[in-house]
Every structure is written in structure tokens, then in C-alpha cells.
């Protein structure tokens, strides 16, 4: 009974996400900032805090320092979600989701070490373990983003960048609260160094409270960002909740797994092609050899499509939003065409941190709900 209502809630939420994308944004016409005064300010990037996650430490301990530092901010994300779920008067949806997810965690449906890591965070900051685990699943399915890989003219650098957009769920809300989730997620944006044997194994960015990564790079090896599909594989998530697919991989954990287990572009690419995933996603992968850049389109079981740099119609950059490359984006959410136009205006000659930031800061690529922008420079050897 409880499970059924929770599943119903999930269904509603994701129908709502899709529906919300149809809300008109007349105040957001495309406006490419390339050629205008530079907006890139590296000092802003330094404001995002770095934490070390020691993979040699026991899982329960790994995220404790970060959790302690972000206790109030994580609590605030919970408050925003809890408020959101009061849209059904008289039903304690937030409570139900917590219970149902806690029970899934107890049954071992979230794999280790992630499960122990989540438990360590919950223990540290005294939040409901079910809600914390739900947050980890919620983030899996609701990222709207733009990712770009671009090769410089001298082939010495590959730039990999992404905007993380979030909070579209809230667009119907009264203006004062509309951006509540986006604002609360800005405050939990953190950078992580994952350490092994006392050395940096890879670096990534995530949202405090999540133990997976959203955007990451292994120095001199590869970089990866993931964008969600506009329609998450809800049915698969429900099957997971029902206990049918306990070994399925959560994409944000899978991304972290790739960095822990792969040392180059090809290894990551091969693994992305075949993993069984909880939801389909777009994997934007960059390497350290000239031309190593791909967008891999995945459904839950297979690779559907791969776009490569310098392949067919593709030239020196690939830009991916939240729609299959062979299909049209929702007309109201076309960040692809303005983004491509803006990249072409930048030109290959001018690709740089500042140049790509200019593109990602242009409307409508910078969304009303953009949480953060990540810029990565991969040295090509
Ligand atoms: C490209 O860079 C050159 C030299 O820095 C600059 O003069 C030019 O305006 C740039 N072009 C664009 C489109 O930003
Ligand atoms: C995933 O895509 C592949 C290739 O297009 C297709 O054969 C397969 O049936 C799809 N799987 C699902 C679950 O839709
Ligand atoms: C860069 C930019 O235009 N950001 C805007 C995104 O939307 C929020 C909410 O409307 C604005 O406050 C930001 O200025």
C-alpha cells in the first residue's frame, strides 16, 4: 500500500517534470555573449570548496568531514523538497518516500560502498537515512544540463565543460519559491579530490549529500560529465523500488566507478557502452589524445548512439543537452541550436576556459535554474 502510493508520487513528479518544460519563458530569448566583454572570473571558481575523500578510509568515515561542514545546507535542501511534497494535502508523501527508501537501503538495494557512505553521512548530521538515500536517487533523474567538449586548433587541449541545471520541478510555484531548489543546490555545490594511496586519483564536482559524481576528470587520462534524459526511465526506477533489479547501476555511482577503475578514454568508453543502468543518460566523454571526445547515448540496457569529434557532420566540438541528438528538443527548451550557434561564433581558434564560459553563460544555455558551471582542461599528450 505504502509502496504503491510512493510509486504514484514518483510517477506524478516525473510527469510534472515533463509537463513543466512546456511552461513558456518569453523573457529568455537567445543571446550569445561571444564577442562581448569577458564574464569569466577565475576568482569565482575558487569560492567553491574542495574536500578530500580518502578511498582508503572506511566508507562510513569518507564523507563525514564534508557532511559536518554542509550540515545546514543539506538540511535546507530537505526543507525545500519537503515543502514541495506538501502539494498533496493530507498525505505525508515526504514521510512515505523516506520510509520506502530506507527500507530499500536496509534490503541492500543500494550497493556498497555507497550505502555505508550514505549511512556515515546520515549518522554525522542526524538526518533521516531514507530521505538522504532518496536524495541520492532523486538527483539521478532530474538534471537538465548542457555539456560541451571542444578540441583546440593546435590539438594540445581539450576543453570539457558543463552547466548543471536543476529545479525545473518548481517552475509552477509562486515566484518567491520558484527557484528554491536551485538556490539551495547552489549552496551544496562542492569539489572533491578522491584520494588513493595518498595521491589524487580523480577530481570531481557533486552536491553535498550525494556520494556519486556529476562531472569529473582523471588528470592526464579522461573527463566525463553526464546529462539526464528529459524523460527518465521511470518504469525502471519503479522496478528497482519493487526489488526486481537490485544490482542495477545508479548513473552517478557508475560515473564514480569508472574513475576508480579506468585509466583511459577507451576503457571508460567501452564500459559506458555496456553497463546496465537505472536510467538512460548522455555520457559526454573527453580523452587525452587528439580527437578523443564522444557523446554516448545510453538507454538502460544498451548504447543507442555515439557522436564523435571530427566524425561525419561533427567538427571540433560536441554540445549535448537533454535530448537525443537525432531528435528535436522540446521547442520551449531548445538550448542545443543557440548553443551550437554560439560555439560556432566563438570559433575553434578562440576556444579557452574564458571562451567556453562565455558560451555557457549565454541565454538560454544559462538556464533560469543553472546551479553551477564546471570547466575542465584536459591536456592532450
Ligand atoms: C578571438 O580572439 C581574438 C584575439 O584574442 C579576438 O580579437 C577576437 O575578437 C576573438 N573572436 C571572438 C569571436 O571572440
Ligand atoms: C536500448 O536501445 C537498443 C539499441 O537501440 C535497443 O535494441 C534496446 O531494445 C533498447 N532497450 C530498451 C530497454 O529500450
Ligand atoms: C545568469 C543569469 O541570467 N542567471 C539568472 C537565472 O535565473 C535566475 C532566476 O530568474 C536569475 O536570478 C539569474 O540572474
Give residue 14's pLDDT band: very low, low, confident or very high (50, 70, 90).
very low
Q: What is the pLDDT of residue 202?
A: 96
Give residue 292's pLDDT band: very low, low, confident or very high (50, 70, 90).
very high
Point out the ligand nearest to the CA of residue 28. 3
Point out the ligand nearest to the CA of residue 25. 3
**Do you find a cis peptide bond into 99, omega within 30 degrees of 0?**
no
Q: What is the pLDDT of residue 143?
A: 66
With 50 as the cut, is the pLDDT of residue 172 above it? no
With 60 as the cut, is the pLDDT of residue 5 above it? no
**Ligand 2 binding residues, C-beta < 6 A:** 299-302, 304
Grid coordinates in use for 28?
529568455
Q: What is the pLDDT of residue 347?
A: 92
Contact, 275 vs 256, CB < 8 A? Answer: no
Q: Is residue 257 part of a domain?
A: yes
Q: What is the pLDDT of residue 260?
A: 97
Beta strand pairing call for 50-54 and 189-196: parallel
Q: Is residue 108 part of a domain?
A: no
Mutate to test the pocket of ligand 1, among 33, 34, 350 (most ligand atoms within 8 A of CB): 350
Q: What is the pLDDT of residue 145?
A: 79
With 50 as the cut, is the pLDDT of residue 194 above it? yes
What is the residue-averaged pLDDT of the chain?
Answer: 83
Bigger pLDDT: 64 vs 140: 64
Give residue 337's pLDDT band: very low, low, confident or very high (50, 70, 90).
confident
Bigger pLDDT: 233 vs 131: 131
Point out the ligand nearest to the CA of residue 363. 3
Contact, 296 vs 161, CB < 8 A? Answer: no
Instruction: Looking at the CA of residue 349, tell me the nearest atom of ligand 1.
Output: 1
Q: Which residue has its alpha carbon closest to ligand 3 atom 7?
A: 368
List the 199-207 sheet strands across, edge first: 50-54, 189-196, 199-207, 215-218, 222-228, 281-286, 293-298, 303-308
Q: Which of 32, 145, 262, 342 is catalytic?
A: 145
**Ligand 3 binding residues, C-beta < 6 A:** 179, 366, 368
With 60 as the cut, is the pLDDT of residue 8 above it? no
Mean pLDDT of 279-292: 92
Q: Is residue 58 part of a domain?
A: no
Q: What is the pLDDT of residue 369?
A: 67
Mean pLDDT of 198-207: 93
Q: What is the pLDDT of residue 109?
A: 87
pLDDT > 90: what percent of the chain?
Answer: 42
Instruction: Looking at the CA of residue 361, tell me the nearest atom of ligand 3.
Output: 1
With 70 as the cut, is the pLDDT of residue 41 above it? yes
Number of domains in the chain: 1
With 70 as the cut, is the pLDDT of residue 68 above it? yes
Tell me, in angstroms, the distance from the centre of ligand 3 to residue 182's CA. Answer: 10
Q: Is residue 106 part of a domain?
A: no
Q: What is the pLDDT of residue 302?
A: 93
Mutate to test the pocket of ligand 2, among 282, 301, 305, 306 (most ligand atoms within 8 A of CB): 301
Exposure string over 128-160, b if 16+ CB within 10 A, otherwise e: bbbbbbbbbbbbbbbbbbbbbbbbbeeeebbbb
Q: Is residue 116 part of a domain?
A: no
Mutate to test the pocket of ligand 3, among 370, 371, 372, 373 (most ligand atoms within 8 A of CB): 370
Q: Is residue 69 part of a domain?
A: no
Q: Does residue 145 carry a catalytic annotation?
A: yes
With 60 as the cut, is the pLDDT of residue 316 above it? yes
Q: What is the pLDDT of residues 149-161, one digit of tens each?
A: 999 998 888 999 8
Give residue 176's pLDDT band: very low, low, confident or very high (50, 70, 90).
very low
Q: What are the E-state strand segments in the chain? A: 50-54, 144-151, 157-165, 189-196, 199-207, 215-218, 222-228, 281-286, 293-298, 303-308, 317-320, 370-379
Q: The domain containing residue 261 runs over which residues?
A: 18-47+139-379
Instruction: Looking at the CA of residue 35, tell me the nearest atom of ligand 1.
Output: 14
With 90 as the cut, is the pLDDT of residue 88 above it? no
Point out the ligand nearest to the CA of residue 346. 1
Q: What is the pLDDT of residue 224?
A: 94
Q: Is residue 63 part of a domain?
A: no
Q: What is the CATH number of the domain that holds 273?
A: 3.60.20
Contact, 142 vs 17, CB < 8 A? Answer: yes
Q: How far apart are CA 248 and CA 235, in angstroms?
A: 13
pLDDT > 70: what percent of the chain?
Answer: 86
Tell me, in angstroms, the distance from the centre of ligand 2 to residue 284's CA. Answer: 19
Contact, 136 vs 210, CB < 8 A? Answer: yes
Q: How far apart are CA 138 and CA 144, in angstroms?
A: 13
Mean pLDDT of 304-331: 86
With 90 as the cut, is the pLDDT of residue 285 above it? yes
**Ligand 1 binding residues, C-beta < 6 A:** 34-35, 345-347, 350
Q: What is the pLDDT of residue 54?
A: 98
In angstroms, the Cα distances linking 59 to 111, 125, 137, 210, 371 are 12, 16, 19, 13, 28
Q: Is residue 226 part of a domain?
A: yes
Q: What is the pLDDT of residue 295?
A: 95
Give residue 230's pLDDT band: very low, low, confident or very high (50, 70, 90).
confident
Amino acid at each position: 500500500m505504502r509502496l504503491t502510493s510512493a510509486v504514484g508520487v514518483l510517477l506524478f513528479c516525473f510527469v510534472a517534470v515533463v509537463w513543466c518544460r512546456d511552461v513558456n519563458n518569453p523573457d529568455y530569448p537567445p543571446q550569445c555573449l561571444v564577442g562581448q566583454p569577458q564574464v569569466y572570473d577565475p576568482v569565482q571558481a575558487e569560492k567553491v570548496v574542495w574536500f578530500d575523500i580518502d578511498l582508503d578510509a572506511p566508507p562510513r568515515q569518507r564523507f563525514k568531514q564534508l557532511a559536518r561542514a554542509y550540515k545546514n545546507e543539506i538540511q535546507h535542501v530537505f526543507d525545500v523538497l519537503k515543502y514541495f511534497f506538501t502539494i498533496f494535502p493530507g498525505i505525508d508523501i515526504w514521510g512515505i518516500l523516506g520510509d520506502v527508501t530506507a527500507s530499500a537501503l536496509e534490503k541492500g538495494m543500494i550497493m556498497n560502498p555507497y550505502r555505508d557512505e550514505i549511512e556515515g553521512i546520515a549518522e554525522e548530521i542526524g538526518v533521516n537515512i531514507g530521505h538522504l538515500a532518496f536524495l541520492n536517487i532523486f538527483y539521478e533523474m532530474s538534471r537538465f544540463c548542457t555539456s560541451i567538449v571542444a578540441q583546440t586548433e593546435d590539438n594540445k587541449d581539450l576543453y570539457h565543460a558543463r552547466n548543471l541545471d536543476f529545479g525545473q520541478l518548481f517552475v509552477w510555484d509562486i515566484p518567491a519559491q520558484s527557484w528554491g531548489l536551485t538556490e539551495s543546490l547552489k549552496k551544496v555545490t562542492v569539489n572533491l579530490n578522491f584520494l588513493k594511496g595518498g595521491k589524487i586519483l580523480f577530481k570531481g564536482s557533486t552536491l553535498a549529500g550525494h556520494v556519486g559524481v556529476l562531472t569529473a576528470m582523471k588528470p592526464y587520462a579522461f573527463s566525463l560529465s553526464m546529462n539526464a534524459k528529459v524523460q527518465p526511465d521511470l518504469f525502471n526506477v519503479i522496478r528497482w523500488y519493487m526489488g526486481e533489479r537490485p544490482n542495477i547501476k545508479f548513473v552517478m555511482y557508475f560515473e564514480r566507478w569508472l574513475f576508480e577503475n579506468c585509466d583511459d578514454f577507451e576503457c571508460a568508453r567501452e564500459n559506458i557502452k555496456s553497463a546496465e543502468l537505472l536510467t538512460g543518460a548522455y555520457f559526454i566523454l573527453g580523452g587525452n589524445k587528439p580527437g578523443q571526445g564522444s557523446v554516448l547515448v545510453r538507454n538502460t540496457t544498451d548504447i543507442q548512439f555515439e557522436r564523435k569529434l571530427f566524425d561525419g557532420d561533427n567538427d571540433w566540438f560536441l554540445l549535448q543537452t537533454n535530448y537525443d541528438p537525432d531528435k528535436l528538443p522540446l521547442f520551449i527548451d531548445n538550448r542545443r541550436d543557440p548553443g551550437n550557434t554560439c560555439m560556432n561564433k566563438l570559433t575553434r581558434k578562440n576556444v579557452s576556459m574564458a571562451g567556453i564560459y562565455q558560451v555557457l553563460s549565454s541565454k538560454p544555455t544559462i538556464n533560469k535554474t543553472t546551479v553551477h558551471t564546471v570547466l575542465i582542461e584536459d591536456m592532450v599528450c
